[in-house]
Structure formats: C-alpha cells, structure tokens
Amino acid sequence: MGRPLLVTAALALWALAVIQPAVGAVRTWSLTRSPAAITAGARSAVTLVVTDTGGSGGSSQLGCLTVAIPSGFGVSSASVIAAPAGKTWAASVAGAGPATVTVRAASDKARLVGGSRRESVTFRVVVTGRSPGAFAWTGTAFADRGCGRSLGGSQRLTVTVTAAATPRPTAKPTPRPTPKPTPKPTPRPTPAPTPAPKPSPALTAEPAASLGPSTAPALPPPASPVPPTSRPTAPATPRLTPSPTPTAATPAVPLTPGGPPPDEFVVAGSGPALGEISIGLGDLGPLVSLEWLVPAAVLAVPGLLLVAAVAAQVVGGIVWVPVSRRVLGGRRGRAGGSPPRHGAAAR
C-alpha cells in the first residue's frame, strides 16, 4: 500500500507544477497602437497605450513593458506622453532596427495598479517604414521595474507599412510654337531715271564761201536725214545777222549764190550722218561787237601815242630854244664885254 501512495503523491505534485504556471500565464494587461498603418519612407509617430487589467494586489501590479520592433522599421525615438497622476515613467530605445523600446516606472510606488483603477501609461515611438508589408510588434509586461518577472505572457500588434502613393505626373503644358519672324521685304533699288533723248540739231551741208566771183552756179545743199526725235522740236526762230559795211581796210567779199553770209563759216562733218555746220556771228550774241572793237583799239591806241609823242617834242623845242639862247648869250658877255649894239656901231 505504501508504494501506490507514493505514486499518487508524485502525480499530484507534478500536476501542481504543471497547472500553476498555466494559471499564472493568464495575461492581466493590454497593449494598443495607433495608427495601424504607416507610409513607407515617411517618418511616422505610433502611439502605444499599456493598461493594467489585473487585480489590485501587489503581485499583479505592472512595473515594466518592452516592445520588440522588427528590422522593417527604423526607430528614431521613444517618449512617455501620459502617466497616472503622481507617478513617473520613462522610455528608452535599444538598437535602430530591429530595436527594443522599454517603458518602466521610476519607483515601485509608480507601478500601475489594476482592479477598478485600471491605470495606464501612454508613450510614443517615432519610426520609418523601410518597405511595404505587415509586421508584428511584440509587447511583454513585467511586474517588477527590472523587467524580470513576467505578467502572463506577451502580446503581438500588427503594424502595416503601405507603399507611398506615386504622384501623378503633372502634364507639361504643350509648348506654343514660336511664330517665325516675318522677314522684312528687301527694298528694291530705285532704277535710275532714263534721260529723255535730246533732239540732235539738223546739220545742213553748205558750200564754203569763195572770195572771188564764181561763174558756176552753186549747187543746192544736199538734204540731210533728220534723226528721229522722241518729242516734237520747236522750229528755230530766224534771226537777222548784221553784215559788216565794207571799208577800205576790209574789202567786200562777194556773195556766192546759195552760199553762206560773209559773217558765217562752215565746219565740215566727220560722220556719214553729219553734213556741214554753218555758224554765223549773229549766233554768238554779245560777241558780235568784239569784231569791230578789237581792230579799232589796235589801230587807235598807237596813233594816239604817236601824236602825244610829237606834241611833247614840239612843246620841248619851244621851251628849249629861248632857254638855250639866254644861256649862250650870257656866257659871251662875260668873256668879251657887251657887244656894241648895231645902232652905236653905225655912229
């Protein structure tokens, strides 16, 4: 009988050893997060709240909490933003990703109390999602401040990282075509005015004047072709040419029938279309008077000079004869005395 009792006692002790941890493993706290999703590549603040949901006894008080954050996040900082009145809590971060965030009471009296009071601590973790996906954050609560005695297991929170929204490309405005500048018209050169053709004077072939009488009749001048003109030519007004009066010095030149006047001379043409040009002194205008002024001046001036020279010699002779007689008579009287007058010598 003793042996079965020993076996029964051993089984009872084993059952107590197995059941006691199972009863103690009942979780007496809760953990929440907000927001549940963040954008990849952007820094986001995740707010967590831990609450003591156990009894008010000392064994169920919460003094420490750890949150394990996987490598899908980069942890920048953690801070406590709310705690029960009169109680102080602090937060710290170990690692950058994966990282562990630890929140603990500053003293044993600052531990959270459950029961009807259900005290809680709110803290914030700033993270950056590295890649899109769903990731589990694992929280573990402890009764002591040193995070050594667990309060009934752990809790997992899912945090989703979403891809950043691809911004819709802004449509570029359609460039308006730049109008081509209108080329300035090249100014046309102004053509030089064509001078109007001037009418050529009709050249009349005339025979040269002869100095002696001619028994043969003069031939009429050949008709010269009249060049075409672009505009009508006014008929030339005939002018009277004065003929010089024959003098002794200028013999009269007999006129040849059909020949030019004596005050005109003929210039022979040099081309087949040209005849002879007849030019008279009447066409020279004011130069006609020079025909007589020049010979008169050439003859009159030397004559006047000659008359003046003869007159000067006559006046000099008249003055010189009495003066020379006086001079000579005076010299004789001084040499031999006064010559006797003719009357005295006779006596």
Lowest-pLDDT range, 129-143, 146-160, 218-232, 319-333? 218-232
Domain locations in the chain? 27-162, 295-326
Compute the average pLDDT of residues 119-129.
Answer: 95
Beta strands in the chain (DSSP E): 29-34, 37-39, 43-52, 64-69, 73-82, 89-94, 99-105, 120-129, 133-142, 150-162, 264-268, 276-280
Compute the average pLDDT of residues 83-89.
Answer: 94
Output the pLDDT for position 31: 94
pTM of the model: 0.43
Compute the average pLDDT of residues 202-228.
Answer: 51
Output the pLDDT for position 157: 94
Please report which confidence band the pLDDT of residue 221 belongs to, taking 50, 70 and 90 as the band edges: low
Q: Identify the top-confidence range among 152-156, 179-183, 292-296.
A: 152-156
> pLDDT tens digits for 52-73?
988 777 778 899 999 999 999 9
DSSP summary character for residue 115: T
Answer with the residue of higher pLDDT: 165 or 286. Answer: 165
Output the pLDDT for position 22: 40
Output the pLDDT for position 125: 95
In the predicted structure, residue 168 carries a pLDDT above the cut 80: no
Give the contacts of 230 (CB within 8 A, at least 6 positions apart). Answer: 196, 197, 199
Output the pLDDT for position 49: 96
Contacts 24+ apart (CB under 8 A), 43-47: 43/76, 43/126, 43/127, 43/128, 44/126, 44/127, 44/128, 44/129, 45/124, 45/125, 45/126, 46/124, 46/125, 46/126, 46/127, 46/159, 47/81, 47/122, 47/123, 47/124
In the predicted structure, residue 51 carries a pLDDT above the cut 60: yes
CATH of domain 27-162: 2.60.40.1510
DSSP3 helix / strand / coil % (the chain, rounded to 5): 25, 25, 45
> ∠118-124-127 over CA atoms, to 5°?
145
Please report which confidence band the pLDDT of residue 80 belongs to, taking 50, 70 and 90 as the band edges: very high
- Looking at residue 335, its amino acid is A
**Which ranges constitute the DSSP H helices of the chain?**
2-24, 290-336, 342-346
% of the chain surpassing 90 pLDDT = 33
In the predicted structure, residue 10 carries a pLDDT above the cut 90: no
In the predicted structure, residue 152 carries a pLDDT above the cut 60: yes
% of the chain surpassing 70 pLDDT = 59
In the predicted structure, residue 86 carries a pLDDT above the cut 90: yes
Output the pLDDT for position 339: 53
- Alpha carbon 180 to its chain centroid, in Å, reads 17
Phi, then psi, of 129 in degrees rounded to 5: -70, 125
The per-residue pLDDT of the chain, averaged, comes to 74
Lowest-pLDDT range, 4-8, 24-28, 141-145? 4-8
In the predicted structure, residue 309 carries a pLDDT above the cut 50: yes
Q: Which residue has the tokens 């008279």?
A: 280
Output the pLDDT for position 219: 53
Output the pLDDT for position 222: 53
Answer with the residue of higher pLDDT: 5 or 132. Answer: 132
In the predicted structure, residue 9 carries a pLDDT above the cut 50: yes
In angstroms, rounded to a whole number, what is the distance separating the alpha carbons of residues 101 and 153? 17
Compute the average pLDDT of residues 148-155.
Answer: 88
